[in-house]
Amino acid sequence: EVIKDIIDQAKSADRTYLMEHESKAILEELGISTTGSVVARTEEEAVEIFKSLASPVALKVLSPDVVHKSDAGGVKLHLNEENDVRRAYRDIVSSFQGKPVEGISVQKMAPTGIEAIVGVANDPTFGPVLMFGLGGVFVEVLKDVSFRSIPITRSDAQEMIEEIRGYSLLKGSRGHSADIEALKDLLMRISDFVNLEPRIWEMDLNPVFLYPHGCTVVDARIILG
């Protein structure tokens, strides 16, 4: 099974941090939509993947030593031309020289959506806890997040969403600007997964883009216990 293989492989390499491509492969297995993450190991591979995706792409460094990829130039966005992809590939490789780089992730650019975050943390008292909030200034400055102990019910998921101060932003002015049912599906799937897989210690889906129809995970990392 895909999920077990990814976790076992990391464990046997003595890694507790699952890189973006590994974390997203697990999410896809759970039926969660992501922007994907195909791994290129050469510049030519990156170009081939770019052509096969037939879309503007993002390139990102994949390294067991790099948690915040956009620090130090590990994320390149809005690449529309083959030459942009080549330059971005080379720039990332040269920025991370001397670090163990697993490869470079090539993925579709997601259309702009409302930025949200979904997290799992481990609380000494409550055990695994699910967190939801809106991204950027909402979480960093306003600390506008909601928490529930895992496992959650579907009505817990609804409450978590309604409880944040930014909820009006999700409702929009005319009907829904974010697909609340799709967001509840995502929260439930993460909760159910963590409930059954005790080796998951932390998860950080940041950002998740919310759309009027559906939502997609743009970046993910998982920490094993």
Q: Is 69 in the site for ligand ADP (CB under 6 A)?
A: yes
Largest CA distance in the chain: 52
Q: Is 117 in the site for ligand ADP (CB under 6 A)?
A: no
Q: Judged by CB under 6 A, which of 9, 42, 52, 70 binds ligand ADP?
A: 70
Q: Is 75 in the site for ligand ADP (CB under 6 A)?
A: yes
Q: Judged by CB under 5 A, which of 206, 209, 215, 223 binds Mg ion?
A: 206
In angstroms, the CA 52 to CA 106 distance is 11
- Phi, psi (rounded to 5 degrees) for 86: -60, -45
**What letter would DSSP give residue 108?**
E
In angstroms, the CA 80 to CA 57 distance is 7
Q: Rounded to the nearest whole angstrom, what is the least distance from the CB of residue 75 to ligand ADP in the complex?
A: 4
Candidates 24-32, 44-52, 84-92, 104-112 — which segment interacts with ligand ADP by CB under 6 A?
A: 104-112
Return the closest-CA partner of residue 118 out of 137, 136, 145. Answer: 145
* DSSP string for 119-149: EEEEETTTEEEEEEEESTHHHHTS--EEEEE
Token pair recorded at residue 216: 């997609």
Nearest to ligand ADP of 21, 184 (CB atom): 21
Q: Which residue bears the tokens 């210690």?
A: 201
In angstroms, the CA 224 to CA 212 distance is 33
Nearest to Mg ion of 70, 168 (CB atom): 70
Question: Helices marked H in the chain — which ranges?
Answer: 2-12, 20-29, 43-53, 82-95, 137-140, 154-163, 167-171, 180-196
Q: Rounded to the nearest whole angstrom, what is the least distance from the CB of residue 43 to Mg ion in the complex?
A: 24
Q: Is 115 in the site for Mg ion (CB under 5 A)?
A: no
- The option from ligand ADP, Mg ion, none interacting with 109 (CB < 5 to 8 A, set by class) reads ligand ADP
Nearest to ligand ADP of 7, 208 (CB atom): 208
Report 12-51 residues binding ligand ADP (CB under 6 A).
35
> Which residue ranges make up the site for Mg ion (CB under 5 A)?
206, 219
Question: Applying CB under 6 A, which residues contact ligand ADP?
Answer: 35, 58, 60, 68-70, 75, 77, 107, 109-110, 207, 218-219
